[in-house]
A and B are shown apart, each in its own frame.
Chain A
Amino acid sequence: MGDDKNLFEMIEKRLDQALLPVRPEENYISSLNNRLFSHPRISIERDNTLKIILFLCLAFFTGFAILILINEIFRNGSQKKAL
């Protein structure tokens, strides 16, 4: 029992010697603080011209296809009336 107590005291003494506070460098602390709150000043602008052209082409062809479809429907209707 007494031996155990001595042994624990010895371990605690060694822990006290081994686990000392370490200080990170002040430069590190301040530069990390700055890095955390620095907002990027450069924003990347992507060239969307190709996307816009593709979208306009698609819209144009869709509109054209709808017009043909409506035209076909009306033509079929007038042919049926004539018969």
Chain B
Amino acid sequence: MNFTEHDYDSILDQAIKGDEEAFSFLYQDNVKKIYNYIYYRTGNSHDAEDLTAKVFQRALGHITKYKKTNVPFSAWLYRIAHNLVANWHRDNSRRKEVPIEDQIDLRVKTEIPEKQIEMRQEVEFLLKAIRKLSNDRQLVLILKYVENLSNKEIGDILGKSEGAIKSLYHRTLLELKDSFELPMD
């Protein structure tokens, strides 16, 4: 079913009024995006599930206080997710990082074993480097590569102009370039 911006707006209005069905629609529309963001920020599916649940519980608890602006609704959810992930990192600062393994296996299953190990190491290395970036930079990369959003759409979520996102993305690539010596083929 295709929803226009107007339809989405009226669903959001109903959700703000406390309509559970409307909120359920917003949940279905955003749960995968939020899960992906948290998954790449935490590095494991268990915490991603736990924190995604908390994001929507918190959103449901505060939806009646939500103030509509030009910024998409998902930006509000990303902000809640960002705060919860920041708390999670603070609480678990001493905990050892768990490597992301699931999607790497899917990606390289057709490769020969040596190549698979090499690629896995490269991906893990890159993901570690990404997790060392600032929140804004991580979010830009996740939205650009995982969600396939344009600079304009990312700008709408982050409340920045298209040009600012382009520049932020360029600075992010520069930081990534500096943070590790990329093995050249």
**Chain A residues within CB distance 8 Å of chain B:** 7-8, 10-12, 14-24, 28-29, 32-33, 35-37
User: Given A10-B184, A17-B123, A36-B27, do A22 and B35 touch, yes or no (CB 8 Å)?
Assistant: yes
A18 contacts across to B, CB distance below 8 A: 122-123, 126-127, 130, 145
Q: Give the interface size class of chain B.
A: 35 or more
Q: B residues near A, CB below 8 A?
A: 20, 23-24, 27-28, 31-32, 35-36, 39-40, 45, 48-49, 52-53, 56-57, 60, 102-103, 106-107, 119, 122-123, 126-127, 130, 141-142, 145-147, 173, 176-177, 182, 184-185
User: Which single residue of chain B is at the shortest CB-CB distance from A4?
Assistant: B177
Chain A residues whose C-beta falls within 8 Å of the C-beta of B49 in the assembled complex: 24, 28
Complex-state Cα separation, A20 to B184, whole angstroms: 22
Give the residues in chain B near A35, CB-CB below 8 Å.
Answer: 53
Q: Is the CB of A32 within 8 A of B56?
A: yes
A21 and B177 alpha carbons, distance in the complex (Å): 23
Q: Is the Cβ of B173 less than 8 Å from the Cβ of A22?
A: no
- The CA-CA distance from A12 to B130 in the complex, in Å, is 12
- Say what secondary structure dominates the interface of chain A: helix
Q: Total contacts A to B, CB within 8 angstroms?
A: 81
Instruction: Give Cα distance in the complex from A23 to B146, angstroms.
Output: 11
Nearest CB on A from B164, distance (A) = 19
Please name the residue on chain B nearest to A23 by beta carbon. Answer: B32
- Whether the pair B177, A16 counts as a contact (CB closer than 8 A) is no
> Which chain A residues border B177 with CB–CB below 8 Å?
7-8, 11
Q: Which residues of A contact B185 (CB under 8 A)?
A: 10
A24 to B46, CA, bound (A): 10
- A36 partner residues in chain B, CB cutoff 8 A: 23-24, 27, 56-57, 60
How many angstroms from the CA of A46 to the CA of B123 in the assembled complex? 56
A-B pairs with lowest CB-CB distance, top 5: A19-B145, A24-B35, A18-B123, A18-B126, A37-B20
Contacts of A22 in B (CB 8 A): 35-36, 39, 45, 102-103, 146
Contact of A24 among B48, B107, B123, B182 (CB under 8 A): B48
The docked-state distance in angstroms from the alpha carbon of A70 to that of B126 is: 86
Cα distance, A35 to B35, chains bound together (Å): 17
A22 shortest CB reach to chain B, Å: 5
Subset of 20 A-B contacts with CB under 8 Å: A7-B177, A7-B182, A10-B182, A11-B173, A12-B173, A15-B126, A18-B122, A19-B141, A19-B145, A20-B145, A21-B146, A22-B36, A23-B32, A28-B49, A29-B32, A32-B27, A32-B53, A36-B24, A36-B56, A37-B24
